Amino acid sequence: MTRIILIFCLFIFLSALSCQTQKIEFTKEPTVIQNPNSSTPLTCFVDFKTNIEFKEVTFTITESEREFQLNYTVSEKTKLGFPILLMRPGTNHYIHLEIVAENGEKYLVEKELVFQTPELPTDKLEFPKITITKSEKNNETEELILFNPRRRIPLTSSNANELNKTFGMLAIVNQKGDVLWYYRSNSRISDFELLPNGNLSYMTQDSKIVEIDFAGNIINQWYAANRPEGKADNAIAVDALTFHHDVSLLPNGNRLVLSTEIREIDNYYTSERDKNAPRKRQKVMGDVIIEFTPKGEVVHRWKCFDHMPAERIGYETFSKYWIRRGFPEVIDWSHANAIVPLPNEDAYLVNFRYQSAMIKVDKTKSEIEWIFAEPSGWGEKLQDKLLQIPLEGWNWHQHAPYFTSNGNLLFFNNNNYNARPFETTANLRDCPSYAVEYKINEQKKTVERIWDSKVEGENSIISIAMGRVTELPETGNVLCCFGALLAEEHLDEMTWFNRARFPQWTMIREFTRTSPANIVWEMRLTPRNSESNVGWTLYGAEVIELNILRNN
């Protein structure tokens, strides 16, 4: 009796195995196709046709150091086939298919496909050196970090501005620092995000918002109709002077974006360091917050000039930011760099770098609800909007406000200058940059400092531009992108006002949410070699998950 049961079980097992390995007939044999779009060279496609109706396909990709799977439904097949991505450069990848028929039967395809990815660019202008300098992370599960390297040649070099602004890149690495995907554009990229539909969105220096798929194909794009560069081909015009820094996709499908306007103001400042410098009529750039529909129709516009004191300037007002972007003789007043829609509220938070301020705006009333900033210079009308921040908690030239899972405000405090014009700035070495978290009581207008990532000694660094912070959901740790860092070997030569002449570099760190914070992971972007004057900076970085990916 036992023998009969064993034979029966063996029969069932073999039958199941036969079902799993049965052959499938193809009317077009599986074939690897190199991505014809050269903007994403590490991507290929697999195309095939069968004599059965199928609903899903799983690709298992193996190479010497990794194995992972990509899962697709039949509806995700493109004209070229199914996209295969997240492969390391300069490596042979072996691709196996498992097809699931409409009736649930699974077919393992015997044919093995091979794709060799190209090497990364070796030119010092085309790609940074990526180094993992610390890792205490569990490497069993592969983590994907999306970021945007920005080429940075010192502005004193010949043609530096043109070389800097015409280089745009998005890249994905894992926690080992392996490059798994990258995309190149011909305009510097600022904000980017992974969209709910699985595509990527990014903003360019030439005032475009672009949506692409992971094969680098442009799906949609919009441009500021009044930008200096004029009309953009195959893009939807939006009634705006510029798009800059940041854009957010709203639940209703509209986009909330930072734009600007120019106003001529009499008797305006000509210096941020000399209080008694002669004044004159100046062209001044101020921020405008715009919401527009997918068709480009503007449905909301909020102008900072109408709500904030234009006489309140900050350091870098005369930095030529807008002059380098095609606006001659225009100075920079408010310099917003982030727009954050608030969930479950008809409101948003705007971050103003030069104002060292974060301002919550009631969108329905078009009114300021509160101001998170150093309190001087706001005028009598806005005094009741100021949050009560302790002196030791003042933020300076900050970036990337982010609301955590418990509703606290987390942001990257660049901590630059530690002063407003025409006060004396703090010593550059005394202004380390860090992530910081606050709990805000909106009713009482008070704030409480909860956590920061300050570290001592050689781990303390100074970021003079950009920066981004995000909370990692599984651990509660904070991923911190440091933007543009000053090289330690040049600090003794630098001041706040000559730093543009020197090289810059960048890094990403993951911090524990402990006091003191611990660095558990660190990645650095540096020049290809020590002789190179090509530095690298970052606008941002974040951990992403792709719904097509399944790790073994």
Amino acid occupying residue 471: E
CA distance 270 to 264: 13
DSSP for residue 217: -
CA distance 397 to 405: 24
Residue 445: what pLDDT? 95
- Backbone φ and ψ of 491, nearest 5°: -60, -35
Specify whether the CB–CB gap between 302 and 321 falls below 8 A.
no
Residue 485: what pLDDT? 92
CA distance 257 to 264: 23
CA distance 194 to 201: 7
| Count of C-beta atoms within a 10 Å radius of residue 427 | 10
The enclosing H or E element of 3 equals helix 2-21
Task: At 32, list the tokens.
Answer: 């690897």
Instruction: Please report, for residues 85, 95, 113, 193, 267, the alpha-carbon distance to residue 44 in angstroms, rounded to integers and kept in the order given.
Output: 7, 11, 12, 22, 59
CA angle 258, 233, 240 (to 5 degrees): 25
CA angle 187, 191, 195 (to 5 degrees): 110
Q: Please give the distance of CA 367 from its chain centroid, rounded to a whole number.
A: 29
CA distance 261 to 345: 27
CA distance 321 to 317: 8
CA distance 350 to 338: 6
With a CB cutoff of 8 Å and minimum separation 6, the contacts of 462 are 415, 428, 429, 431, 432, 433, 485, 486, 491
Residue 19: what pLDDT? 43
CA distance 334 to 84: 44
pTM above 0.85, yes or no: yes
Residue 218's Cβ-count burial label (10 Å; 0-12, 13-18, 19+) is middle
Cis peptide before 422 (omega within 30 of 0): yes
CA distance 338 to 401: 7
Residue 162: what pLDDT? 86
Long-range contacts of 344-348 (CB under 8 A, 24+ apart): 348/256, 348/289
Over the range 48-57, which residues count as b (16 or more CB within 10 Å of their CB) and which as e? Answer: bebeeebebb
CA distance 167 to 187: 5
The enclosing H or E element of 339 equals strand 336-341
DSSP 107-141: EE--PPEEEEPPPPP-STTT--EEEEEEE-S--SS
Which domains are assigned to the chain?
A: 22-116 (2.60.40.10), 129-551 (2.130.10.10)
Which SS3 state, helix, strand or coil, does residue 416 take? coil
Closest CA to 201 of 220, 185, 175: 220
CA distance 36 to 496: 46
Would you say the C-alpha torsion 190, 194, 195, 197 has a positive or negative sign?
A: positive
User: How many residues comprise the chain?
Assistant: 552
CA distance 129 to 489: 19
Mean pLDDT per 10-residue run, the chain (552 residues)? Answer: 37 41 83 96 96 94 94 95 97 96 92 96 92 86 93 80 90 96 96 96 97 97 98 97 97 97 98 96 98 98 98 96 96 97 94 98 96 96 95 91 95 96 94 96 95 88 94 94 89 88 91 96 90 88 87 46
Amino acid occupying residue 375: P
The enclosing H or E element of 374 equals none
Specify whether the CB–CB gap between 44 and 82 falls below 8 A.
no
| Count of C-beta atoms within a 10 Å radius of residue 286 | 20
Q: Please give the distance of CA 203 from its chain centroid, rounded to a whole number.
A: 10
CA distance 349 to 342: 7
Q: Where are the beta strands (DSSP E) in 226-297?
A: 236-238, 247-249, 255-268, 280-292
DSSP for residue 87: P
The enclosing H or E element of 13 equals helix 2-21
Amino acid occupying residue 183: Y
CA distance 429 to 179: 33
| Count of C-beta atoms within a 10 Å radius of residue 496 | 18
Amino acid occupying residue 365: K
DSSP for residue 424: P
